C-alpha cells in the first residue's frame, strides 16, 4: 500500500508516454503508480494519507540549473538595493542598514542596478563613505560582475590610485584624479572580498536555512549550486552538516571551481558522485564576465563603449590553461559547466569542446555552457552537434532586454537569449535562475520564457518574440531537461513510477490562464521524496 496518494488532480507528468494523469501513489519516497483516480485508489490502505487535489495542477518539482545558493540565503537578510531607483534612495538604504550593525561588521550583497537610476550612473564610494566610516562595504551589482566598495574596504585591501587592475578585472578610477571610484569589476572584487573573515558555521547554516525555506515556497526541489574559489568549501561544509541532520529540503548538485581540478583528481572522483541529497556534479569555470559590467567578451566592441569588447576571466590565464583543464577533466570523466556570455566567449569554449570531442571521441559528457546569452547564428547549431547543454536563465532576457540594445546594438540582440533557435536546432535547454542575480521563482522564469515581456512593460508582445517557447517546453526545461543536465533524468524530472516523489501543486492551472498571468500563480504545496515540506494548500 502507498504512504501517500494524490487524487482528482490535473497532473502534468512531463512523461511523453503519459503526459496527463489524475492521480499518483507514493511509497518509501518514490512514485509507484501514475494514472486515473480509480486506478490509484487501489493503492490506498488504512495508513495511507490521501490528498484530494480537487482539479488543481501538479507538476514535477522544479530543478534550478544555476544558483548561488548560500549567497542567495545571505541576500535575504542583507541590505536590499535591487529596487533602488535613485542616488538618494541608495544612500538612505545604507543609513538604515548601519543602524542595525556593530562597528566592523561588513555590508555585503545588495544586488543594485544602476540602469534603474534616472539617469543611469554608477554609484561611487563618496556616496556612502560618510555613512559607513566603521563598516567595510562591498555590495555587488545584481549580476555579480561588479561591486561598490567604500573607502574603508579599499584601504583594508590596500587599493590605491597606484594599484593596477588584476587580470580578468578592473579597478575603476576617476579620470581626473586617478583615485579609485569604489567600483570593482569581476576579479578585482576578490581583492576586497579576500579581506573579509569567513562567517561562522552558525551564520552560514542560518543563511542556508533561509535559502531552503525560500526554495520550499517557490516549489524548487533541486538546485545546481555554482561556486567560486572563495566560498566552495564553506558552502559544502554547511550542506554536509544539514544533510547529516536530515534538514536538507532541496537536493543539491554542487560544482567546484575548475581550478580545483587537482583536488578532484586526488580523490579520483568521476562525477557525479554523492547521494540523492548532496552530489558533487563537476567543475565550474569562467570564460568572461557579464554585459551589465561590460566584461562579457565579444568579437566587436560595445556599442556604448567602442574602446572595449570585454574581458577574459582570470581562469583563462595563463593562455591555454582552460583548454588544459578541460582535457584533464575529460580524461578523468568529470562534467564541466563553463560560464560564457559574450559571443566570442561562447565561440571560444565551443571551439575547445569541439577539439576535445575530436581528440577523445564522442561520449555522454553532458558538458554545459552556463548562460550562453549571446551567440553568433553559426554557433547556435553547434550546441546540438557537440551535445552541449545550454544552461540558461530566462529572467535575464526580460531584465536585460530593457537596456541591452544600447549596450550591444540591435544586430547582436537578434540572437541574444536564443531559446527557440537553440531548441529548434536540437539542443537541450536547461533552465535556472542565477539566484540571487535574479528571482529564484521558476514561475517567473517560465513566464519570461513564454512571453519575453520585459519587466519595464515596454514589450507587451515580447522582446524578440520569435524566441518565445511554449509553456510545455518551458516546464520541461525546469524539470526533465534540468535533471538530464545533472545526469539525474533516470530518477527525477518527471512523474512516473520508479522516480523520486518530488512534486508541487499550484493554485492556478498554467495551461488554462493567459501567459502574461503566469507569474501570479502560487505554489501551494511542495513534496520532496514523498514528504510534504511546504503546505499552504488547505487540502
Question: pLDDT tens digits for 414-455?
Answer: 999 999 999 999 999 999 999 999 999 999 999 999 999 999
Neighbours of 133 (CB within 10 A): 12
Cell representation of residue 135: 563598516
Q: Is the dihedral of CA 109, 115, 116, 117 positive or negative?
A: positive
Q: What's residue 269's pLDDT?
A: 87
Task: Tell me the mean pLDDT in the region 363-378.
Answer: 97
Q: What's residue 118's pLDDT?
A: 86
Task: Tell me the mean pLDDT in the region 307-328.
Answer: 97
Question: Tell me, what DSSP letter sits at residue 345?
Answer: H
Where exactly does CATH 3.10.310.70 map onto the chain? Answer: 79-193
- pLDDT tens digits along 346-363: 999 999 999 999 999 999
**Which is it for strands 146-149 and 49-52: parallel, antiparallel or unpaired?**
unpaired
Question: Tell me, what DSSP letter sits at residue 152?
Answer: H
What homologous superfamily is domain 4-61+499-535 in, according to CATH? Urease, subunit C, domain 1 (2.30.40.10)
Share of the chain above pLDDT 90, in %: 92
Helix (H) or strand (E) holding 1: none
- pLDDT tens digits along 224-253: 999 876 678 899 999 999 999 999 999 999
- pLDDT tens digits along 70-109: 999 988 989 999 999 999 999 999 999 999 988 999 999 9
For 316, the 3-state DSSP assignment is: helix
Q: Whole-model pTM?
A: 0.91
Residue 478's closest CA among 74, 174, 5, 64? 64
Contact between residue 108 and residue 74 where contact means Cβ atoms under 8 Å apart = yes
Task: Tell me the mean pLDDT in the region 473-496.
Answer: 98
Report whether pLDDT(486) > 90.
yes
What gap in Å lies between CA 396 and CA 445, rounded to an integer?
9
Contact between residue 343 and residue 299 where contact means Cβ atoms under 8 Å apart = yes
CATH number (3.10.310.70, 2.40.33.10, 3.40.50.970, 3.30.565.10) of 79-193 reads 3.10.310.70
Where exactly does CATH 2.30.40.10 map onto the chain? Answer: 4-61+499-535
Phi, psi of 350 (to 5 degrees): -65, -40
Q: What's residue 112's pLDDT?
A: 96
Query: How much is the CA Rg of the chain, to the nearest whole Å?
Result: 23
Q: Is the dihedral of CA 69, 72, 78, 81 positive or negative?
A: positive
Helix (H) or strand (E) holding 52: strand 49-52
Query: What residues pair up with 172 in beta bridges, in sequence order?
Result: none
For 253, the 3-state DSSP assignment is: strand
Half-sphere exposure of 302 (CA within 13 A, CB side): 20
Residue 451's closest CA among 440, 438, 465, 441? 465
- pLDDT tens digits along 105-129: 999 999 999 999 988 999 999 999 9
Share of the chain above pLDDT 70, in %: 100
Phi, psi of 189 (to 5 degrees): -60, -35
Cell representation of residue 51: 490528498
Q: What's residue 182's pLDDT?
A: 98
Report whether pLDDT(398) > 70.
yes
- pLDDT tens digits along 497-526: 999 999 999 999 999 999 999 999 999 999
Residue keyed to cell 581528440:
359
Helix (H) or strand (E) holding 240: helix 232-245
Q: What's residue 229's pLDDT?
A: 66
Report whether pLDDT(202) > 90.
no
What gap in Å lies between CA 164 and CA 289, rounded to an integer?
19
Q: What is the DSSP string of 426-492?
A: T--EEE---BTSS---HHHHHHHHHH---TTS--TT-SSGGG---HHHHHHHTTHHHHHTTT-TTTS
Task: Tell me the mean pLDDT in the region 31-45.
Answer: 98
Question: What average pLDDT does the chain have?
Answer: 96
Amino acid at each position: 500500500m502507498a504512504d501517500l496518494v494524490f487524487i482528482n488532480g490535473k497532473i502534468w507528468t512531463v512523461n511523453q508516454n503519459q503526459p496527463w494523469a489524475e492521480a499518483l501513489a507514493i511509497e518509501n519516497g518514490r512514485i509507484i503508480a501514475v494514472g486515473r483516480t480509480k486506478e490509484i485508489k487501489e493503492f490506498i490502505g488504512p495508513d495511507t494519507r490521501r490528498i484530494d487535489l480537487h482539479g488543481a495542477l501538479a507538476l514535477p518539482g522544479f530543478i534550478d540549473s544555476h544558483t548561488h545558493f548560500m549567497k542567495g540565503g545571505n541576500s535575504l537578510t542583507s541590505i536590499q538595493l535591487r529596487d533602488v531607483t535613485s542616488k538618494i534612495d541608495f544612500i538612505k538604504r545604507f543609513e538604515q542598514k548601519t543602524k542595525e550593525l556593530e562597528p566592523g561588521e561588513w555590508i555585503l550583497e545588495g544586488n543594485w542596478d544602476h540602469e534603474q537610476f534616472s539617469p543611469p550612473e554608477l554609484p561611487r564610494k563618496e556616496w556612502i563613505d560618510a555613512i559607513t566610516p566603521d563598516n567595510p562595504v562591498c555590495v555587488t551589482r545584481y549580476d555579480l560582475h561588479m561591486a561598490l566598495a567604500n573607502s574603508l574596504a579599499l584601504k583594508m585591501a590596500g587599493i590605491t590610485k597606484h594599484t593596477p587592475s588584476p587580470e580578468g578585472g578592473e579597478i575603476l578610477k576617476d579620470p581626473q584624479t586617478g583615485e579609485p571610484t569604489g567600483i570593482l569589476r569581476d576579479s578585482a572584487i576578490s581583492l576586497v572580498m579576500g579581506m573579509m573573515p569567513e562567517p561562522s558555521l552558525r551564520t552560514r547554516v542560518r543563511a542556508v536555512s533561509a535559502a531552503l525555506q525560500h526554495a520550499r515556497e517557490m516549489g524548487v526541489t533541486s538546485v545546481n549550486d555554482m561556486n567560486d574559489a572563495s566560498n566552495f568549501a564553506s558552502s559544502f561544509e554547511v550542506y554536509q552538516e544539514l544533510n547529516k541532520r536530515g534538514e536538507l529540503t532541496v537536493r543539491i548538485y554542487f560544482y567546484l571551481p575548475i581550478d580545483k581540478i587537482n583536488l578532484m583528481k586526488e580523490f579520483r572522483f568521476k562525477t557525479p558522485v554523492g547521494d540523492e541529497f548532496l552530489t558533487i556534479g563537476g567543475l565550474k569555470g569562467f570564460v568572461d564576465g557579464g554585459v551589465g559590467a561590460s566584461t562579457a567578451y565579444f568579437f566587436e566592441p560595445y556599442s556604448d563603449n567602442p574602446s572595449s569588447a570585454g574581458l577574459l576571466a582570470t581562469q583563462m590565464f595563463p593562455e591555454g590553461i582552460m583548454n588544459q583543464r578541460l582535457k584533464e577533466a575529460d580524461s578523468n570523466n568529470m562534467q564541466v559547466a563553463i560560464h560564457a556570455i559574450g559571443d566570442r566567449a561562447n565561440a571560444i569554449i565551443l571551439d575547445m569542446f569541439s577539439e576535445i570531442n575530436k581528440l577523445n571521441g564522442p561520449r555522454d559528457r553532458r558538458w554545459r555552457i552556463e548562460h550562453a546569452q549571446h551567440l553568433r547564428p553559426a554557433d547556435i547549431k553547434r550546441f546540438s552537434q557537440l551535445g552541449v547543454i545550454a544552461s540558461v536563465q530566462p529572467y535575464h532576457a526580460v531584465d536585460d532586454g530593457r537596456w541591452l540594445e544600447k549596450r550591444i546594438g540591435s544586430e547582436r540582440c537578434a540572437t541574444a537569449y536564443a531559446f527557440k533557435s537553440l531548441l529548434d536546432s536540437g539542443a537541450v535547454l536547461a533552465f535556472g535562475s542565477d539566484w540571487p542575480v535574479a528571482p529564484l521563482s521558476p514561475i517567473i522564469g517560465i513566464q519570461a520564457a513564454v512571453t519575453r515581456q520585459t519587466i519595464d512593460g515596454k514589450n507587451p508582445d515580447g522582446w524578440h518574440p520569435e524566441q518565445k517557447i511554449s509553456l510545455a517546453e518551458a516546464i520541461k526545461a525546469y524539470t526533465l531537461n534540468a535533471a538530464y543536465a545533472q545526469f539525474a533524468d533516470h530518477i527525477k524530472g518527471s512523474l512516473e513510477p520508479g522516480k523520486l516523489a518530488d512534486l508541487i501543486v499550484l493554485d492556478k492551472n498554467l495551461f488554462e490562464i493567459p501567459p502574461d498571468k503566469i507569474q501570479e500563480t502560487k505554489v501551494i504545496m511542495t513534496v520532496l521524496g514523498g514528504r510534504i515540506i511546504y503546505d499552504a494548500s488547505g487540502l
